[in-house]
Amino acid sequence: MREALQAAIRFAFDELKLHRIQANYQPHNTRSAALLQRLGFVVEGQAKNYLFLNGAWRDHVLTSLTHPHFDNRPLLG
């Protein structure tokens, strides 16, 4: 999963020229939390009752990663 996410992050930042990406996970999912932390994602907060999954509303931890060398110049095209 780490390799797949690293490739997706590179694509989002290098090809799509995004400034920021988000990833959310359920608080009990420690493996996802650890993976996102290793990849540099920062916890921004918690969303109560974020998604209805398996018959109940579930809280999620909200994280984000910003492009460290984002180019603010407008794209020509």
- Please name each of the domains of the chain with its CATH number: 2-66 (3.40.630.30)
pLDDT the model gives residue 72: 81
Enter the pTM of the model: 0.86
**Contact (CB, 8 A) for 50 and 59:** yes
Q: What is the pLDDT of residues 16-55, one digit of tens each?
A: 999 999 999 999 999 999 999 999 999 999 999 999 999 9
Please state the separation of Cα 60 from the chain's center in Å.
12
The pLDDT value recorded for residue 75 is: 65
- H helix runs in the chain, sequence order: 2-10, 30-38
Q: How far apart are CA 70 and CA 51, in angstroms?
A: 31
